[in-house]
Amino acid sequence: MEMVFYRSCPKCKGDMHTRRDFYGDFKECLQCGLMQDLETESDSEHRSEKVLATESRDKHEAA
């Protein structure tokens, strides 16, 4: 499903819409063509697991 985000482009304040290609979901500005990757749930879960592992390691090293 395609969504439009009005005046949300950080570069030109143009309208952005969501798209999907082989590499994943992204937003693209209709005026200047700027593209921004959209984070998926698995990306955010992977990032939080990585942060938790780093914090745990740092606590063990400090002790």
Residue 24 DSSP SS3: strand
**Domain segments of the chain: what residues?**
4-62
User: How many CB atoms sit inside 10 A of residue 18's CB?
Assistant: 15
Q: What is the mean pLDDT of residues 2-8?
A: 92
Distance CA 57, CA 43 (A): 21
How far, in whole angstroms, is CA 62 from its chain's centroid?
A: 32
pLDDT tens track for 6-23: 999 999 999 999 999 999
pTM of the complete model: 0.60
Q: What is the pLDDT of residue 51?
A: 59
pLDDT tens track for 25-62: 999 999 999 999 998 766 556 555 665 666 666 666 66
